[in-house]
Chains A and B, each alone.
Chain A
């Protein structure tokens, strides 16, 4: 059976020549063997079945870690609450994830899992709970949150009750091919199943085949989903492959379905877009997106009709796009030179252009996909870029605050617009063996903001 098409293999063809000789490998292996033998005087951590005390030791270890985590969380929580105005909703809660599954560095992985149950009591029923899904759209889950363990089982936590309710049976969770309805009640799984998170009941939806077989190889056909804010429309990215030429893409489009009926409403060609880079208007009736020739357009959700084209064209590929909740503004940025454009949505008038170099002066070293979002009142725009996050005054078109950050992949505002949550990763320099080492950790940071200030309220690393 053919595993990949020629183009896929060609990308890595040159690596075939990069291989050490057998002698070189044997030398390296011997070196390791000698090093291991030298360590025999040192005690090692043994997975010994005969070690009867181990369960107790492990329990004590887990309890110690849990108490430490709980104490740290309480301190951070109290500090955050102290700094917030009374009108602000309960603090954001972070669960790291990538494709919905936990991704944390080696030893801290178990700690992240252990921390989850201890976070429950600190979360009010209406807390905003988010799961970072590694790019694209965040999963807003209301009072529930899902994640998976290393075995691909899908867990559902009921945060309001502070306990894990169940593992959904018979579901293998892998990749990013899932989405949560905006009300947080249902999981659309692998483009086929609508799973009720409250009771595990499953209904089917027909969005077309998620994959296609050509020449013995399987290609992803559906790749990315986005719900409209009110949940009645679902946008799915569809990649049609040439059936005679493995690997050749014929057409990429965004198909809009009525949810949950699965009725096809519109099919719109997508521009140069590996990801589904679109933004629904607040009422879900229009979608802002990029066209093949790097124009930003506004289309009617239910028909695909182009309502408006925004000038000027982007200088390069569309990277981020956002529509203000009140439907007044559209913002988009390009890959190079990283310029940000803000248009007035009704007439398509360009209001402001902020040059990429302005962001570079503020410490940004690149753009981040999808980390562009208007505040709830539409007055400000948060723009998370590599190594720096900015808040922009939409009326003035000026950068009002900037803070050095890691690599944001998503940005969320609190309902009152006073705080911002940034999900991404940070690089932390840690002392190791007297030298030091840079480690990258998935992170969630919670910022308090006002003009001239972005201040960290809390930050979590996994």
Chain B
């Protein structure tokens, strides 16, 4: 077995579950997350950037996040028209609640999608992966202190954006 593949298999063992979880949280589709996880590792095997990366774990997670949001962009229009949620015949309260909850998730993800890449990665790692500020600090080469302040600002912006979307939706209704 070559060195690159062996290294990737080690990373897969160590981070595979966490990567899969974050991919599901961003795409909201397990089958897509499965495909993206495979795409991620196959891409990295052929990536000189990854081969020479001084912090392969960082590279791995940021590429995964990039791939997932890339998928969201590609499928935004398609999803708007063919979302399986819209095709559900079940109109029970539980199903309605699930649909509402999913729409909420989509709204948050759309807002996160439009953040600058570093902000987006930070928010995903902190709030979707649950990585501690201390761990993120080494990942982003800064201090936990600064990351907290940064997150606070980003969240304020997201809230503003979501509130504006809500007002718009209410106006249209």
Contacts and interface: CB of A to CB of B under 8 A. Distances in A.
Contacts of A219: 148-149, 152
A73 interface: no
A126 interface: no
A25 B24 CA distance: 10
A27 B20 CA distance: 10
Contacts of B142: 152, 172, 174
B101 interface: yes
A90 interface: no
A174 B149 contact: no
A440 B42 contact: no
B99 interface: no
A36 B9 contact: yes
Interface stretch (A12-20, A137-145, A196-204, A257-265): A12-20
B127 A28 contact: no
Contact of A20 (B21, B70, B101): B21
Interface string B58-69: 000001001000
A33 B117 contact: no
A249 B160 CA distance: 13
A46 B53 CA distance: 11
A27 B38 CA distance: 11
Given A32-B41, A107-B48, A274-B160, A19 B21 contact: yes
Given A14-B104, A45-B4, A103-B117, A36 B41 contact: yes
Looking at chain B's contact residues, is the secondary structure mostly helix, strand, loop, or mixed?
helix
Contact of A106 (B21, B66, B145): B66
Contacts of B132: 3
Contacts of A53: none
Contacts of A28: 16, 20, 30, 33-34, 37-38
A370 interface: no
B47 A36 contact: no
A216 to B, nearest CB: 10
Interface string B137-154: 000111101101111110
Most chain A CB within a 10 A radius of its CB, from B41, B132, B158? B41
Interface size class of A (residues with CB under 8 A): 35 or more
Interface in B70-95: 70, 73-74
B145 A99 contact: no
- Listed residue (B128, B148, B164) with the most chain A CB atoms within 10 angstroms of its CB: B148
A222 to B, nearest CB: 10
Nearest to B40: A32
Nearest to A151: B141
A25 B51 contact: no
Given A28-B33, A174-B142, A45 B47 contact: yes
A32 B12 contact: yes
A40 B37 CA distance: 18
A101 interface: yes
A439 interface: yes
Contact of A32 (B37, B101, B145, B156): B37
A458 B118 CA distance: 27
B9 A33 contact: yes
A4 interface: yes
A103 B105 CA distance: 26
Contacts of A223: 153
Nearest to A35: B38
Contacts of B2: 40, 43-44, 46
Interface in A5-24: 7-9, 11-12, 14-15, 17-20, 22, 24
- Which of B28, B47, B116, B117 counts the most A-chain CB atoms under 10 A from its CB? B116
A241 B2 CA distance: 55
A20 B149 contact: no
Contacts of B30: 20, 24, 28
B46 to A, nearest CB: 6
A438 to B, nearest CB: 6
A25 B16 contact: yes
A12 B108 contact: yes
Contacts of B155: 4, 7-8, 11
B3 A98 contact: no
A316 B117 CA distance: 28
A27 B132 CA distance: 27
Contacts of A36: 5, 8-9, 12, 41-42, 45
Given A35-B42, A39-B5, A98-B116, A427 B150 contact: no
Nearest to B111: A11
Contacts of A109: 49
Interface in B1-45: 1-5, 8-9, 12-13, 16-17, 20-21, 24-25, 28, 30, 33-34, 37-38, 41-42, 45
Counting from the closest, the 7 A-B pairs by CB-CB distance are: A44-B4, A29-B16, A12-B127, A220-B149, A218-B148, A28-B34, A25-B20
Interface of A: 3-4, 7-9, 11-12, 14-15, 17-20, 22, 24-29, 31-33, 35-37, 39-40, 43-48, 98-99, 101, 103, 105-107, 109-110, 134-135, 150-152, 172, 174-175, 210-211, 217-220, 223, 249, 272, 274-275, 316-317, 335-336, 427, 437-440
11 contacts: A3-B148, A7-B159, A8-B127, A18-B24, A19-B24, A28-B34, A33-B12, A103-B118, A152-B141, A211-B145, A336-B168
